Chains A and B, each alone.
Chain A
Amino acid sequence: MDHGLGTGIRVRSVSKSYGGKRVLDDVSFDIPAGMVTGLLGPNGSGKSTAMRSMLGLTIADAGSTTFDGVPYRDLAQPGRTVGALLDPGAHHPGRSVRDTLASAAILAGVPLERARELTGTLGLATAERRRFGALSLGMKQRVALALALLGRPRHLILDEPMNGLDIETADWLRETLVHHAHTTGGSVLVSTHLLQELQTFADRIVVLSEGAIRYSGDVNELTSGRNATVVAVDPDLMRRALTSRGIPFTTDADGSRFAVGVDPRSLSQICIADAIVIDELAEDRESISDLYRRLTRGQYHVEGDVLDLR
């Protein structure tokens, strides 16, 4: 029997409704071992609900999630198998940082030295005795990260982990996640709104909108449909060359700048073949932000133009 060992995390046909409103609709995606997977989606798209249902915190109406083939509830050592950061503020405000981590270490079956080690690594040593409720957002985020990393877990599920972190710590976290996935074979799922940032370190992306998966796959494949822009000295010559080959194109207002539906190398070969002199040739690659906007629709979108605050 295939227990899916080393396969990473598999989410299958997960659905969830709240009072008749469908929040997740037959959601399936993979978070393969050895990869960082980004979970993208606008506010209210169901990202947090999906993450919570993966861990049994939200009871899904249907569907399942397995970690290397094992449902979360059946893991022998959940705290050492999966590390989760879901809500950095969800801790007792009157408990100290040290006590918050110590309690979690006991539950995870991890030595208390590990908690102390992480407070040092994450720059929490001086705040150890402070009440959790008195910490800044960034410090709370560090505590939440320490909790996620406490059991040296193979799988990581992190909801907006960069929120509130300074640049140095965010860089450290990115490198840690990539290192964890690529060298130890762990699975990492990160949800974030920092799309460009995700493009720099995620291997795969899952796009969620209105509770349904819009895209699930490789980051590079997502934006592989490349076009080119070209500025021709003789626009008529360029227009004839493209029309005769049946290549789609659009031009700007003065007709000299062409947006062409082929990659830059093919376009340069056409220009050479037809002796077309050009002033400029560039790749016109759809940015991940544009693609994200095209794929998703926010449930809570902002109405109107820029707000004048005078």
Chain B
Amino acid sequence: MTFVDAEPTASGRFARSLRAELRNVRTTRGTRWALGLTASLWVIVGAGVALIAVLLDATTVSVGAALLGMGSAVTIFIPILAIFIMAADWQSRDVLTTYVLEPRRHIVFFAKVLAAVIVCATLVLAAALLAVVFTAVLALVSGAAITWNADAETIAVLLWSAAVGTVSGIAYGAATQRVAIAIVFSLVQGFVIDPLLTLVPHGVGNWFRLSAIADAGSSGGAIGPALTAGVLWLVVPLAVGFVRNQRADVQ
């Protein structure tokens, strides 16, 4: 067997890296678990919505409610998936093989980032499609009418939350290079640091809460706190992660 194709361009090398990263999402246990748990949550949300519709003998079923339920399930696991994509290779030291085969580390880094974005966007899209299909089937089975009440703001909040979750997962995974540490930090950030920041006098803490970024996607959010929080929780860890990926010795 001889290999006869021409020397790859930079974009060709990036495409290879992206293909390999997307394949790894399917073949890595951690990401498979996260995807499986997301699907399980969809089933639970669907069953819950159907049960409520039956119990209340609903005359209408809402696409908006289904979308909110399915979308919330996705936003829980999106940061975890992004963390796995960015950090699993470092944790298992598979990155040694990756960097031998592609020594231009920035190509691998951006391929991982794009893989995370693609996977998370696909999940959001799947959740939206599932919500529509599920509502249609439920309406057909129960004889209820469909309410197309998924307004633009609900969709915008969902998409914005998914985007923030994706970027924060990428940032924490890249900065820590350890799946467990990044997931724990992500949880501590959401359940401990953010609530504690609300206790800071004069509302100063609100300028540094990660949820300020998510809030900016809704009508009640403000841009200023979203920017300061974005720099602190997204830009800085992303920059640290990029530099670490470029300079770290692979042991």
Contact = CB atoms under 8 A, between A and B. Distances in A.
A4 interface: no
Contacts of A114: 1, 3
Interface string B219-251: 000000000000000000000000000010110
Contacts of A80: 3
A113 interface: yes
Given A78-B100, A78-B101, A84-B100, A107 B93 contact: no
Most chain B CB inside 10 Å of its own CB: which residue of A84, A92, A95: A92
A108 B100 CA distance: 9
Interface residues of B, number: 34
A107 B250 contact: no
Contacts of A79: 100-102
Given A78-B101, A90-B97, A95-B28, A103 B3 contact: no
Interface string A82-111: 101011011111111001101110111111
Given A78-B102, A84-B100, A92-B89, A111 B7 contact: no
Interface string B82-97: 0000001100111011
B8 A109 contact: yes
A106 B19 CA distance: 7
A91 B249 contact: no
Interface residues on A, range: 35 or more
Interface in A68-88: 72-73, 75-80, 82, 84, 86-87
Given A87-B93, A111-B1, A113-B1, A95 B27 contact: yes
Q: Which label, helix, strand, loop or mixed, suits the secondary structure of the B interface?
A: helix
Contacts of A152: 1-3
B193 interface: no
B103 A109 contact: no
Given A77-B8, A92-B88, A94-B30, A107 B17 contact: yes
Given A78-B101, A80-B3, 18 more contacts: A57-B96, A58-B250, A59-B247, A73-B103, A87-B93, A90-B93, A90-B97, A92-B24, A100-B94, A103-B27, A104-B20, A106-B20, A107-B97, A107-B101, A107-B102, A113-B1, A114-B1, A152-B3
Interface of B: 1-3, 5, 7-8, 12, 16-17, 19-20, 23-24, 27-30, 88-89, 92-94, 96-104, 247, 249-250
